[in-house]
Amino acid sequence: MKPVTGRLVLLAVIVIVSLVMFLPSTPLFSKMPDWWKNYFPAKGITLGLDLQGGIHLVLEVEADRAVEIALDRAATNMTVLFAEKKLQVESVTHTTPTEITVSLGAPEAKDGVLKLTDDQFPFLTSRSPSDRVLVFSLRSGEADRIKKQAVTQALETIRNRVDQFGVAEPQIQQQGLRQIVVQLPGVKDPGRAKALIKNTALLEFKMLDETHKVAGMLPSRVPAGKEEDIIREFGPQIPPDDEILFERTIDKESGRVTKTPYLVKKRAVLTGDVLTDARVSLGEFQDAYVSINFDSTGAKLFERITAENVKKRMAIILDNTIYSAPVIQERISGGRAQITGSFTTEEANDLAIVLRAGALPAPVKVIQDLTVGPSLGQDSIEKGVRSTIIAGVIVVLFMVFYYRLSGSIADFALVLNLVCLVGALAGLNATLTLPGIAGIILTIGMGVDSNVLIFERIREELRSGKPVRPAVDAGYEKALLTIVDSHVTTLITGFALFLFGTGPIKGFAVTLCLGIAINLFTALVGTKVIFDLLNRRGRMDRLSI
């Protein structure tokens, strides 16, 4: 017989390590002394979204739009530059999603234009279908670079926003080429968090077109939901470089939402990327507004625009909704502006956050949205835990009833199993989900299976007339191969699940694989040592099995 002491010490060490690992997951941890908290693990099992509530979002970055936006911006900048250098250019238009067409006033202007664009827009390549037309498109590989960068930048921006929103342990990561997974456990107000994440938050300043006849024909107010009708009615009459956008107004008394249509120039005179800061302030009637600061380029640009457009109206637009359309009273220097509009302090706060974190480089589309309220999570925990306990008690009683003393040894193995499993899960900082609980229960089943296999074998050996000790040894030996075979096959399934499962399924696979490995150990070492211990205390004539 192999010495027992070594194995007993090993078991004790494993149990103690498991308990130390699991401790942070219990309320007891907060009562531990400081030196304990400093030197021992402080992070235990995290509860999955299904258990504590929260949001799981999968977003897809519309990267093709990022390319269009980049070209749009290039077209705007060209117009400004050509005007500054007084080049003879008739028009700059973003004709197809991937091309900018420049019409020249005279063929001689071509060299000047090309010199300027080669210098300022190195990512563009040009061709000239006729001597008065230049067509610019992205150099090869440039589109892919923009798309890739759009995803990275979107990831960064969303991370900034979530950080400022204040969520404990958010998880934000890229998945595949274009997708971003956002997990926010324990969020109290899912709607607000979602809006904060997925809004593009593209801030634009556009001039109103007040000279065209349609501007005067637009109704001053329409009920929310009738926007389409307005666009259908007036859309065909407006010039090609204009568009109709709406301002949202909420009646403070009735809470009714109305929309005011405006005719604005499509081209943005300034965008939010020149922002350095955004803060919430309270006006004289305690109404919240957001004050923004521009960087030096933005400040200069803003000063020039306001100087050129005194007495005209400029719309402040966020994600294609007009927040306000004030009349420019005078040239504004100093690089400061205010966004007013009818919003609550909370909305102003979120607006400031998204403006500070910056706009998303391209719109994002929500392709998966799983939200679990905190109440269901609580419910699930209670029911899951209760049924697990019931199941556990039934199994423990059954084993003692059926195998007597040996049954209680098997029960010891089950408890050992459970302790090691939660310890291992805590040690890996695994996330416990409902399927994970199911995985634990399954492990209990596997544990029972191993013990039953061994016990039935021992019974067979006893029946054939062997004395207790050789019968136990032979039982373990013969069951060993079977147990290994059955565990390895289940492990293969668990591994396949781990590779291809997502979220909760992965959690299930982790518990299953860990449980199988631990079970193999407890069944072959944990119970055997108890039998050996019993045998050492003098020869046993009968075994209660």
Residue ranges binding other proteins (CB under 8 A): 50, 58, 60, 190, 365-373, 375-376, 379-380, 383-384, 386-388, 390-391, 394-395, 398-399, 401-402, 434-435, 437-438, 441-442, 444-446, 448-449, 452-453, 456, 459-460, 478, 481-482, 485-490, 492-497, 499-502, 504-505, 508, 512, 545
Q: In this structure, what is the dihedral angle of CA atoms 320, 314, 337, 355, given to the nearest 10 degrees?
A: 10
Nearest residue to 161 via CA among 338, 314, 360: 360
Q: In this structure, what is the dihedral angle of CA atoms 447, 451, 453, 456, given to the nearest 10 degrees?
A: -150
In the complex with other proteins, the residue whose CB is nearer, 9 or 390, is: 390
Q: CA–CA separation, 111 vs 100, rounded Å?
A: 17
Minimum gap (Å) between residue 227 Cβ and other proteins: 16
Minimum gap (Å) between residue 472 Cβ and other proteins: 15
In the complex with other proteins, the residue whose CB is nearer, 152 or 489, is: 489
Minimum gap (Å) between residue 390 Cβ and other proteins: 4
Minimum gap (Å) between residue 454 Cβ and other proteins: 10
How far are the Cα atoms of 353, 476, 526 from residue 545, in angstroms, in the given order?
A: 68, 14, 17
Minimum gap (Å) between residue 512 Cβ and other proteins: 7
10 Å CB burial of residue 31 (0-12, 13-18, 19+) is exposed
Beta bridge mates, 293: 277, 336
Minimum gap (Å) between residue 514 Cβ and other proteins: 14
In the complex with other proteins, the residue whose CB is nearer, 268 or 399, is: 399
Q: CA–CA separation, 238 vs 544, rounded Å?
A: 94
3-state secondary structure of 53: coil
Minimum gap (Å) between residue 160 Cβ and other proteins: 24
In the complex with other proteins, the residue whose CB is nearer, 15 or 505, is: 505
**What's the sign of the alpha-carbon dihedral 493, 495, 501, 503?**
positive
In the complex with other proteins, the residue whose CB is nearer, 102 or 201, is: 201
Name the H helices within 175-226.
190-198, 213-217
In the complex with other proteins, the residue whose CB is nearer, 215 or 440, is: 440
Q: CA–CA separation, 541 vs 535, rounded Å?
A: 10
Minimum gap (Å) between residue 386 Cβ and other proteins: 6
Minimum gap (Å) between residue 511 Cβ and other proteins: 11
How far are the Cα atoms of 38, 74, 363 from residue 152, in angstroms, in the given order?
A: 36, 21, 13
Q: CA–CA separation, 347 vs 353, rounded Å?
A: 10
Rg (CA), the chain: 35
Minimum gap (Å) between residue 372 Cβ and other proteins: 5
In the complex with other proteins, the residue whose CB is nearer, 12 or 367, is: 367
In the complex with other proteins, the residue whose CB is nearer, 122 or 373, is: 373
Minimum gap (Å) between residue 492 Cβ and other proteins: 4
Residue 265 tokens read as: 């120039």
3-state secondary structure of 100: strand
> Within a 13 Å sphere around the CA of 520, how many CA atoms are in the beta-carbon half?
17
In the complex with other proteins, the residue whose CB is nearer, 217 or 390, is: 390
CB 118 within 8 A of CB 326: no
Residues ≥6 apart with Cβ < 8 Å to 515: 417, 421, 439, 440, 442, 443, 446
CB 304 within 8 A of CB 255: no
In the complex with other proteins, the residue whose CB is nearer, 41 or 501, is: 501
Name the H helices within 184-295.
190-198, 213-217, 227-234
In the complex with other proteins, the residue whose CB is nearer, 48 or 361, is: 48
Q: CA–CA separation, 513 vs 436, rounded Å?
A: 11
Minimum gap (Å) between residue 442 Cβ and other proteins: 6
In the complex with other proteins, the residue whose CB is nearer, 325 or 454, is: 454
In the complex with other proteins, the residue whose CB is nearer, 128 or 179, is: 179
* Rounded-to-5 percentages of helix, strand, coil across the chain: 55, 20, 25
Minimum gap (Å) between residue 504 Cβ and other proteins: 8
CB 197 within 8 A of CB 363: no
In the complex with other proteins, the residue whose CB is nearer, 17 or 441, is: 441
Minimum gap (Å) between residue 398 Cβ and other proteins: 6
Report which secondary-structure segment, H or E, holds 499: helix 468-500
**Backbone torsions φ then ψ of 500, nearest 5 degrees:** -110, -5
